[in-house]
Structure 1
Amino acid sequence: MRPASLLLLFFFVGVSDVYGGSDFRVCAFNLHNFGESKSKKADVMNILVKIITRCDVCLLQEVRDSKGKALPQLLDQIKRFDSRHEYRAVASERLGRTESYQEQYVFVYRADSAVLTDQYQYPDDLPGDVDAFSREPFVVRFRAPRTAIKEFVLIPQHTTPTNTTKELDALHDVLLRVMKMWRTKNVMLLGDFNADCGYLAKKNRKNVRLLTDTNLVWLIPEDTDTTVRSSTSCSYDHIVVHGDAFSRAVVPSSARAFDFQTEYGLTEEQALDVSDHYPVEVLLRVENPRASGGGPSRASSLQSVSLASSWIVGHLFLHTLTC
């Protein structure tokens, strides 16, 4: 490549850094039995890392890492794959009604764009609760200064298919408790709700407060297929936000299922090795892309680009005279 071309390449990479990368993405991904066995499959881990590092905050479900080795390995690969950001994770205790089957909720997040400010494990022994959940929500609160919402709470839930109606309705109790406890209305509920295909009967929908509360907005379109298998078409995974402020902070039409099979050119069999679910995601509006990273402001960055462009144009002009 000629020197002039190299200069142009470096310049446009710099411009891209100033203007691009401003999306703030929140994701929820059921990893389908993630543990030691899956962590030993290099091709699977490579795809998981690519998916998770697309997100500023990513909820992982069905983490069944009983020996405590698979999750640290995943985090290590994430950090090595994307060194531009500082990744951290916070995990619930192992949850489940039996010792033989337990899961963890895990939030992987970019510490340079989201700051964990609080966490709360919803109890399973509240008066009158009658142990509503198989896997009680592990609630977290983040500060994200560059987003329009600034601070928000995430309530995850992976419902038990045979108890979907009860658990989805009980999530409303969690919502009310968290809003009162932390004095906030900026709450997002997300995860594998199993809210379709026989697990949530139409006749039961009127009994689910998470569906009837008019202050809640279900962002993933109802006809979205969040399953990998071509033989199924079910909208299991969802993202729900509470209140007008959070709704306004969402980029319109950005909520979707991420089809990693198509994105990464996988066969159905290869995709199913990764998970039988697609992750769901949504973008939050960004007001100041540099607010939490300690980098230059947009104005100073643009000034730098202007000065750099003037230098490059002059250099290119001199270069053409000497060629």
Structure 2
Amino acid sequence: MRSSSLLLLSFLVGVCDGQGASDFRICAFNLHHFGDSKAKKSDVMLTLAKIITRCDVCLLQEVRDSKGKALQQLLDRLHSYDTGHVYKAVASERLGRSETYREQYVFVYRTDTVTVTGQYQYPDDRPGDVDAFAREPFVVRFRAPMTAVKEFVLIPQHTTPVNTTKELDALYDVLDQVKKMWKTEDVMLLGDFNADCGYLAKKNRKNVRLFTDKNLIWLIDENADTTVRLTTSCTYDRIIVHKGSFASTVVPSSAKPFNFQMEYRLTEEQALEVSDHYPVEVLLKGHRSTSFRNGGTSLALTGTKGTAHQTIFNLKIFALFALSHLVFQMLTW
């Protein structure tokens, strides 16, 4: 009796906590010089695992894995921390103008919720604007059947601080090319744009087409601080989507930085060991079929959107009532 009651209690907790369970999280995180030395710090790797496994897709920037070992160590750490999912990564070549300093864009993703259907390394050879980027975008197309959008494209960019305005404007050409190449407007631009404070003066925004094109939406609030240091307050890291069908699949007010320092109760020094940036994230609405999972068991609710939401609401009310009754009984044993 006791074991069966505990099983029921576990299920009911899962139902009560099921709000947003079908939402799909996309993240972008500047890891700040991620390579061999950082991969050797077990406490840092644990925090990275906690952060990254929150996401269905996570763009990693400033990956400086010259020996090709740190990324695999990170994936191993993700799997040891989160045994419920399988994670894979798709990475760009090592990018940069200097032989001594190069970075990779890396997309880490959950294989049970999303698959890679295409990738494209922007050649940065546009006539009249050759070599516009220090780290040219590595564009990836994903299929996520349990989201409302089903398939979308992510364009990452980590701008160089000394040339932020020019690189952000050139990113508009990448967007235009990708939309034509893959015949879609379901495109998201994301990453450390250095799009604030001394790197992008507000007076220069009129020179950036990503700002002036009214069909684009900048999702991260202008007053959000995406930096860890207490001495800075800048919205460097951004997420941009196209208006229309894709924007309508974004969960309202879900785009924000994730303050891992506060979430995991770290000191500023401990947080800076992880990164000097907070990741930014956004949720996409799930498919109108919603599942509540408890271990390997799922209860699916299908039908019209309104009917599904009403059914979910009714289930939660029932679960809360049953949960309170069950807890009372367990306390009186």
Name the TM-score, length of structure 2 as normaliser: 0.86
Identical-residue share of aligned pairs (%): 71
Q: Could you tell me how far apart the structure 2 residues matched to 1:7 and 1:203 are?
A: 60
The 3 A distance-change label for structure 1 pair 202 and 75 is same
Contact 2:116 2:140 in 1 (8 A): yes
Name the TM-score, length of structure 1 as normaliser: 0.89
Residue 48 of structure 2 corresponds to 48
SS of the aligned residue for 2:96 comes to strand
Amino acid at match of 1:246: F
Residue 194 of structure 2 corresponds to 194
Contact 1:119 1:138 in 2 (8 A): yes
Contact 2:30 2:61 in 1 (8 A): yes
Amino acid at match of 2:127: P
Q: Could you tell me how far apart the structure 2 residues matched to 1:14 and 1:251 are?
A: 21
Q: In the TM superposition, what is the alpha-carbon distance from 1:140 to its structure 2 partner?
A: 0.4
Q: Could you tell me how far apart the structure 2 residues matched to 1:20 and 1:255 are?
A: 14
In the alignment, structure 1 segments of 5+ residues that lack a partner are none
Residue 169 of structure 2 corresponds to 169
Q: In the TM superposition, what is the alpha-carbon distance from 1:7 to its structure 2 partner?
A: 4.1
Q: In the TM superposition, what is the alpha-carbon distance from 1:51 to its structure 2 partner?
A: 0.1
Q: How does 1:75-86 map to 2 (within 5 A)?
A: 75-86=75-86
Deviations 1:198-225 (A, max 9, x none): 1012221101001101110000001110
Amino acid at match of 1:282: V
Q: In the TM superposition, what is the alpha-carbon distance from 1:146 to its structure 2 partner?
A: 1.1
Higher mean alpha-carbon deviation, 82-91 vs 55-64, is at: 82-91
Q: Could you tell me how far apart the structure 2 residues matched to 1:289 and 1:299 are?
A: 5
Residue 148 of structure 2 corresponds to 148
SS of the aligned residue for 1:66 comes to coil
Amino acid at match of 2:113: S
Q: In the TM superposition, what is the alpha-carbon distance from 1:130 to its structure 2 partner?
A: 2.2
Deviations 1:64-100 (A, max 9, x none): 0001110000001101211211211100000000110
The 3 A distance-change label for structure 1 pair 17 and 196 is closer
The 3 A distance-change label for structure 1 pair 241 and 85 is same
Q: In the TM superposition, what is the alpha-carbon distance from 1:124 to its structure 2 partner?
A: 2.3
SS of the aligned residue for 1:97 comes to coil
Q: In the TM superposition, what is the alpha-carbon distance from 1:125 to its structure 2 partner?
A: 2.3
Aligned: 1:286 with 2:286: yes
Q: Could you tell me how far apart the structure 2 residues matched to 1:258 and 1:139 are?
A: 24
Q: In the TM superposition, what is the alpha-carbon distance from 1:244 to its structure 2 partner?
A: 1.1
Q: In the TM superposition, what is the alpha-carbon distance from 1:168 to its structure 2 partner?
A: 0.2
SS of the aligned residue for 2:214 comes to coil
Contact 2:290 2:301 in 1 (8 A): no
Q: How does 1:246-257 map to 2 (within 5 A)?
A: 246-257=246-257
In the alignment, structure 2 segments of 5+ residues that lack a partner are 303-310
SS of the aligned residue for 1:217 comes to strand
Q: How does 1:1-323 map to 2 (within 5 A)?
A: 2-3=2-3, 5-13=5-13, 15=15, 21-287=21-287, 288-289=289-290, 298-299=300-301
Report how many residues are paired: 311
SS of the aligned residue for 1:38 comes to helix
The 3 A distance-change label for structure 1 pair 289 and 129 is farther
Contact 1:18 1:298 in 2 (8 A): no
Q: Could you tell me how far apart the structure 1 residues matched to 2:165 and 2:279 are?
A: 22
